[in-house]
A and B are shown apart, each in its own frame.
Chain A
């Protein structure tokens, strides 16, 4: 079983739709969680951290469920510019190395 697993998609949604991605992780001792965004042939960029209490940044909401070992990302009122691959990232251990999921591809259609 992979350490971090994501549904690869693709998710094709119309503009304005609400879309949610889940990501599961296997290491119960994992400490920190993030969502990164990667545009085609570009480097990953930090989208948001995921806090235990859940957090919101504009149209984006991230949540963590430690009991079930998953994190989620909700995008409301999706825009064409949201089209990208969304990478779930988990930090475990003291080395602070990030373990990346393989990403979920989102395409927002006009």
Chain B
């Protein structure tokens, strides 16, 4: 079946512009996560959605970052007034129910470059 998809695959934007990154999770997966990975670094947790519960936003680095998940499926991560330090690969992951809820499947990521 289809895996997690993300769009765009690459985004170059000017400093100060807003960007929107999209994630389509695996069908039926109730949990959705956003991470970012800077060059040569590990993954940094950003935000977590589980079903209809309030999202866990504890990883968002500033109020310029926000995310929503519509209809329990597609999610959009928005970065307002982008800064150069926002340049990174933004990865989305989803997971299912029960024990498999701990096993996350990642999309290919969106490579964001802020110039």
- Spell out A's residues near B (CB within 8 Å): 32, 34, 42-46, 49, 87, 91, 95-103
Distance in angstroms from B21 CB to nearest chain A CB is 14
Footprint of A on B, CB under 8 Å? 31, 33, 35, 41-43, 45, 48, 50, 56, 58-59, 91, 95, 101-109
In the bound complex, CA of A95 to CA of B41 (Å): 23
With CB as the reference atom, state the residue of chain B lying closest to A102: B42
List, in ascending order, chain B residues with CB within 8 A of A102's CB: 41-42
| Cβ contacts under 8 Å, B50 to chain A | 96
Tell whether A43 pairs with B91 under 8 Å between CB atoms, given A87-B42, A98-B33, A102-B41.
Answer: yes
Q: List, in ascending order, chain A residues with CB within 8 A of B31's CB.
A: 96
Complex CA distance for A30 and B63, rounded to whole angstroms: 29
A46 touches B59 (CB 8 A): no
Q: Name the residue on B nearest A32 (C-beta).
A: B102
Could you list 19 A-B pairs, sorted by A, with CB under 8 Å?
A32-B102, A34-B102, A34-B103, A43-B106, A43-B107, A44-B43, A45-B106, A46-B103, A46-B104, A46-B105, A87-B42, A96-B31, A96-B50, A96-B95, A97-B48, A98-B45, A98-B104, A99-B45, A102-B41
Number of A-B pairs, beta carbon distance below 8 Å: 48
A103 near B107: Cβ-Cβ < 8 Å: no
* Ranked 8 nearest A-B pairs via Cβ: A102-B42, A43-B106, A100-B43, A95-B56, A100-B42, A97-B45, A32-B102, A44-B106
C-alpha gap A49/B100 in the complex (Å): 10
User: CA of A98 to CA of B91 in the docked complex: distance in angstroms?
Assistant: 13
Measured CA separation A67–B56 after assembly (Å)? 30
Give the residue of B33, B42, B48, B102 whose beta carbon is less than 8 angstroms from that of A101. B42
Q: Are A103 and B45 in contact (CB under 8 A)?
A: no
